[in-house]
Amino acid sequence: MAKSGQHGGNVLQMAERYGLAPDSILDFSANINPLGMPASLKQAIVDNLTLAEHYPDIDYQRLHAALARHIGCSPRAVLAGNGATELIFALTHYLRPKKAMLPVPGFAEYRRALERESCDIVNYTLHEADDYQPTAALLDALTPDLDCLFLCTPNNPTGQQPPQALLLQILDRCRELQITLIVDESFIDFLPGQTGLTASLNDYPNLFILRSLTKFFAIPGLRLGYLLSSDMQAIDTMRDQREPWTINAFAALAGETVLDDRGYIQQTHHWLQAEQEYLYQALSQFSELKVWRPAANYIFIRNQQTELNLQDELLRHHLLIRHCANYPGLSDQHYRVAIKSHENNQQLVAALKQVFGHG
Ligand SMILES: Cc1ncc(COP(=O)(O)O)c(C=O)c1O
């Protein structure tokens, strides 16, 4: 499968395919904070343009110190990367697992990274009847021959956050069976007050946490993510193995700037609190749709009007949503929509009314 077909945000390709001007398309397919990047970061970049004339610090000491301060851990427990994506590949390469478990549906890059290491992949199917949430049955599915398990919390594309108590049970069971647990918390910042599994880092050296700044701080083009673990030897080895300067100077500056921007963080939580509820309720009004209550900034839906291709129909209205047909475990009736500004969300609802012939 071509990489271009595996993610949202392919506005250019979709515009070309449908003969539309890219600028005329409203993108609901990538889950990016609609507030745009923080003004504090824009200013910092403008004030520091000459950073481009120098190599970044090869150890990114200030960046790692800022990330460690944010989490409340040692800088040695943090490895920053060129987006969480770089770290998914770096970690998988470091672990070289022979057998890994992936819940399906889930984010595509875990599979690509594991396949690159010729790893056997065991799919763990998440069921609609469980709202695509893992249950205690996962504890029994874990076996000692597994080297690692990936979890995504909240999960992409389903937008579901597993209960913390179950996550802790899974973590325990993984430690017991010597399975490395990789938890992708790339969207956790959208859940106010949630710290994910960071409090367990010290007690579980088999735990690796992935985080991304690209979604919450709206910098997917700048790119920044980080990996956390109390297995310092693993972090040191990955730090030594990596190619130099994978994080550009402005991305490093972003990490040093945005985590302290309380105003932006609060504004984002404010926006999401209102729009998450608005769009969830508005979509739920359509009997043609099955809608899952979102934990983060995107909503997972199933179109029950099977003869309609919802992505095609909405593109006629210049709205691009993410179809999920290429996720193992899902079908061409599943879609994911980003939660955007109130005006944009209203546009989506209005377009859906036309598509489904309401009023
Ligand atoms: C669950 C999940 N993890 C990781 C990533 C990669 O994030 P980044 O932009 O930091 O590489 C994405 C991007 O869509 C994602 O959805």
Give domain limits for the chain: 3-30+262-355, 50-260
Best residue among 88, 215, 219, 298 to mutate for probing ligand 1, ranked by most atoms within 8 Å of CB:
215
- Residue with CA at minimum distance from ligand 1 atom 7: 84
Best residue among 3, 6, 7, 85 to mutate for probing ligand 1, ranked by most atoms within 8 Å of CB:
85
How far apart are the CA of 7 and the centre of ligand 1, in A? 10
Ligand 1 pocket at CB < 6 A: 83-85, 107, 152, 156, 184, 186, 212, 214, 220, 225
One digit per residue, the tens of pLDDT, for the chain of length 359 reads: 445 556 777 888 888 888 888 999 999 999 999 999 999 999 999 999 999 999 999 999 999 999 999 999 999 999 999 999 999 999 999 999 999 999 999 999 999 999 999 999 999 999 999 999 999 999 999 999 999 999 999 999 999 999 999 999 999 999 999 999 999 999 999 999 999 999 999 999 999 999 999 999 999 999 999 999 999 999 999 999 999 999 999 999 999 999 999 999 999 999 999 999 999 999 999 999 999 999 999 999 999 999 999 999 999 999 999 999 999 999 999 999 999 999 999 999 999 999 999 97
Q: What is the pLDDT of residue 305?
A: 95
How far apart are the CA of 85 and the centre of ligand 1, in A? 6
Strand partners, 100: 121, 148
Q: Which atom in ligand 1 lies closest to the alpha carbon of residue 215?
A: 9
Using alpha carbons only, give the angle 27, 114, 328 rounded to the nearest 5 degrees. Answer: 50
The residue count for the chain: 359
Which two three-digit tokens encode residue 84? 């969480």
Q: Given phi > 0 = left and psi -120 to 50 = alpha, else beta, which region is 329?
A: left
334-338 β-sheet, strand order = 289-291, 298-303, 334-338, 322-323
- What is the CATH code for 50-260? 3.40.640.10
Q: What is the pLDDT of residue 2?
A: 45
- What is the CATH code for 3-30+262-355? 3.90.1150.10
- Nearest-angstrom CA–CA distance, 299 and 327: 16
Q: Do domains 3-30+262-355 and 50-260 have the same CATH topology?
A: no
Query: What is the secondary structure of 115-157 as a DSSP string?
Result: HHTT-EEEEEE--GGGTT---THHHHH--TT--EEEEESS-TT
Number of Cβ within a 10 Å radius of residue 40: 15
Distance, CA of 228 to chain centre: 16
Determine contact, residues 322/157, Cβ cutoff 8 Å.
yes
Spatial neighbors of 282 by CB under 8 A, at least 6 apart, are 345, 349
Which two three-digit tokens encode residue 145? 């021959």
How far apart are the CA of 84 and the centre of ligand 1, in A? 6
Side chain identity at residue 299, one-letter code: I
Determine contact, residues 78/228, Cβ cutoff 8 Å.
yes
